[in-house]
Amino acid sequence: MLGEGIIQGLVETARNFFGSYVEKDRLTTVQYPEERLPLPEASRVFPFLLYDGKDPDAGLRCVACQICEKECPPRCIHIEKSKDKKPDFVGKMQVYPAVFDIDVSVCMSCQICVEVCPFDAIRMDKVFELSTDNRFRKLLYTKKELSKPNEYYQKIHPLEAAETDERRAKEAEEAKAKAAAAEAAAKAKAAAAAATPPVGEASGNGAAAPAKLAETKGSPQ
Amino acid sequence: MISARSADQVFVALDHWIVGHVPAPFQTLASIVIAVAMIIVVFAALFALTTVFERKGLGRMQNRYGPNRVGPWGTFQPLADAVKSLTKEDVVPHRADHVVHYLAPLVLVGVVFLSYAVLPVGRNMIAVDLDTGVLYFFAVGAATELAVFMAGWSSHNKYSLLGAMRAIAQMISYEIPLILSSVAVIMIAGTLSTVKIVEEQARYTAGIAHWNVITPWGLAGFILFMIAATAETNRSPFDLPEGESEIIAGYFIEYSGFKFALFFLAEYIEMFAVSGLAITLFLGGWSSPVSFLAWIPSWLWFFGKLLAMIFGFIWVRGTMPRLRMDQLMNFAWKFMLPMTLIVILSAGIWRFLSPAVVGPRPLGGVIRWLVCALVIFAPYILLARKLERGHSMEKRTYRFAE
């Protein structure tokens, strides 16, 4: 009959109207600032620098190798190397970045810097509410703003962080074992040298140090 | 303690009290100014309320929240909208007819407010009790078409002209069923005065009011009147003149800022006015449906009914998609017009099937009701069958496109 469909439609909208006050799951809207959906594990917005321990200066993993700076497609990373060195997580002396800037107005969140970093020093962040009233200074993130602890990384990307931490722990373990072995070998050599009359006395320490360096360099990253 | 009678007449008494303090030569003028100011303030406030209710209601019909950011539950949204439209730039096209372009929204708003002069919003609450109230209402309502065409023509924009042409075609087509469906009421009441039409309906038999809507011709007339009124006020599903998908915004495409807000205001004010007339003609105006609720003030009844009508408009808007132009015209001339003529016929039969002809009250009343209902329902079925023939839903084949 003429008009039947109209009545069906009116019933449907009336059901929606009253139902939306009764059944909460009818309303699919997430009221954003108050309610948030959890972000997926793989979500990423702009890179940040990781540091171990409590002190961002001492624990910063970055060794200012500048690979990320060279690989960055939009060239948003700026690094200046330091003049002095500090020990890294395996105890080796490394250069660190005196200046590390990322211009997030240029960054396109491509994650290439993360993929090329051999030191697990740069990772993608998840924060996205970064709007600011100053488009020049406040969009240029300095080393201080970029440095975030490893615990933060474990919180935002738990799976990735667990994998990285495991690998790094193993590497540190291996490095320690190798150092211990090298030390033992050096000691044995020294003992042997002490037992037998000296042929070349200076070679004892001098031979151990280059060997250790070579082993560390050869370890997989 | 305030009696029901004084609560009902509180605004009338207030008006008399204020007018009594004005010097005698200016009393007429003061009374006019008060009436006009009240109409403008009350209905503009209702407009503000309706915009937020409409957006929230439509949202709920689509399982959304609707505006809920400004103030508690988004109730201050109209204020934010007003600030926004006032602060926007008022752009006038370079080639537009500046004078007419400027005048069109003003004429529209002025004209739609004029129709409130003859709406009784409560007992003794009417601006002008004209003997030809209904006629005046339609005459003023027809003047809105002029303003619409002024806007469409002066904008110097093809979409705006198309929108105006559509609006004119639609308004003229639907004005005929609008007026014809109210003719039945005028015939039965025997008067064009809105006050007398309401008083006629405010009588009670066995505690139930004599509203026109409970008679078969009144019910059919009310439905037809509301369909025509929806088209007349350019509301969905008859909002072709402003169809966004095809002609962007129709005749107000070149209006921005507060002029656009005025068009918006006029559209809603017109909707309230035509709802008010529907209430007056069919829903007993300010009278209560049953006699034991007659202690509720008459103006509360009127505005309660008006809010219910507004909800009806929002409900229909949330339900139906926009018609096509040919569907619109076919509906007006092939369905609405014959049905309104049949309603007039049924009202005539109702008038002459008095208790003297069909017998005493209970049984005679039922017979009269059924006969008049049949007079409307049988042609409706036949007409619907005729219109639906050849309109079965099939997969459409495109001869030239494939």
User: Would B243 be classed as within a structural domain?
Assistant: yes
Q: Is B401 a member of any domain?
A: no
What angle (nearest 5°) sits at the alpha carbon of residue B223, between those of residues B165 and B192? Answer: 85
Query: Is B392 within the bounds of a domain?
Result: no
pLDDT at A157: 87
DSSP H helices, B73-215, are 77-87, 98-114, 133-154, 158-189, 194-201
Judge whether B121 lies within some domain: yes
Torsion angles phi and psi, residue A183, rounded to 5:
-65, -45
Query: Which long-range contacts does B262-267 make (Cβ < 8 Å, 24+ apart)?
Result: B262/B105, B262/B106, B262/B108, B262/B109, B263/B105, B263/B108, B263/B151, B264/B51, B265/B44, B265/B47, B265/B109, B266/B105, B266/B108, B266/B109, B266/B112, B266/B144, B266/B147, B267/B233, B267/B234, B267/B235
B381 reaches A (C-beta below 8 A)? yes
For the whole model, what pTM was predicted?
0.78
Q: Which residues of A touch B383 (CB under 8 A)?
A: 2
Total beta-carbon pairs less than 8 A apart between chain A and chain B: 44
Residues B217 and B346 sit within 8 Å (Cβ to Cβ): yes
What CATH fold (topology level) applies to the domain A47-156?
Answer: Alpha-Beta Plaits (3.30.70)
pLDDT of residue A198: 56
Contact status, residue B120 vs residue B126, Cβ threshold 8 Å: yes
- Residue among A67, A97, A94 at smallest CA distance from A82: A97
In a domain, B249, yes or no: yes
- Mutate one of B55, B69, B73, B319 to test the A interface: name it (highest A CB count within 10 A): B319
Count how many domains chain B has.
Answer: 1
Contact B182, B192 (CB under 8 A): no
Beta pairing class for A77-87 and A93-103:
antiparallel
Segments of chain B with pLDDT less than 70: 1-5, 390-393, 402
Q: What residues in B contact A17, CB-CB < 8 Å? A: 57, 60-61, 315, 318
| Of B57, B64, B320, Cβ closest to residue A6 | B320
Let me know if residue B397 belongs to a domain.
Answer: no
Beta-strand runs (E) in A7-46: none
Positive or negative, the CA dihedral B266, B267, B271, B272 is: negative
ipTM of the complex: 0.78
What pLDDT is recorded for position B29?
87
Query: Side chain identity at B109, as an amino acid letter?
Result: V
β-strands A147-149, A47-51: how paired? Answer: parallel
Q: Quick check: helix, strand or coil at residue A128?
A: coil
* Model pLDDT, residue B245: 73
Please check whether residue B388 lies inside any domain of the structure.
no
Instruction: Please report, in angstroms and rounded to a whole number, the separation of the first and last CA atoms in chain B.
Output: 80
In a domain, B129, yes or no: yes
- Nearest chain A residue to B223 by CA distance is A3
Flag residues of chain A having pLDDT under 70: 197-221
pLDDT in the model for residue B344:
93
pLDDT tens digits, B215-243: 889 999 999 999 999 998 888 888 887 77
Task: Give CA separation, B89 vs A125, B85, B97, B258, B266, in Å.
Answer: 41, 8, 18, 9, 20
| Structural domain containing residue B124 | 91-352
